[in-house]
Amino acid sequence: MPYRIVRNYLFDTIWAYADTVFLYLILADQKRALSICMLLSCAMCVLSEVLQLIGLAKGTFDIGDIIVELIAVFIAVNAIQVNIRRKRNEKKENSICACG
């Protein structure tokens, strides 16, 4: 069973996570980059499965793919937010140390 889960969902999860991070890196200078990135990634996840459902993309439609891809997007967005906060805190600490 674990092999089947890995085989069916791992690559979709990695794809969605990497796609989200890549989009953020492209849009990082935008004011609302993270929101735009999350919306685009979610839309791409759903769109890829819908295209499979209607036969315009190779593959088979699976609602499980959509669920794991959306979870991966939210994990990636959370990881990006943690990284943004960490960088802000480092800048604050460096500016405090430089002044004091």
Residue-level pLDDT at 49: 95
Q: Render pLDDT for 12-61 as a digit per residue (tens, 0 to 9).
A: 999 999 999 999 999 988 889 999 999 999 999 999 999 999 999 998 89
In 10 A of CB 54, how many CB atoms?
A: 8
User: Helix, strand, coil shares of the chain as percentages rounded to 5?
Assistant: 85, 0, 15
| 8 A C-beta contact, residue 38 and residue 77 | yes
Give domain limits for the chain. 2-99
Q: Render pLDDT for 81-91 as a digit per residue (tens, 0 to 9).
A: 999 899 888 87
**What's the Cα-to-Cα distance from 6 to each of 1, 12, 41, rounded to whole Å?**
9, 10, 21
Cα 64 from Cα 41, distance rounded (Å) = 16
Residue-level pLDDT at 22: 95
pTM, to two decimals: 0.84
3 pLDDT more than 60: yes
H or E element that contains 46: helix 33-53
Residue-level pLDDT at 5: 77
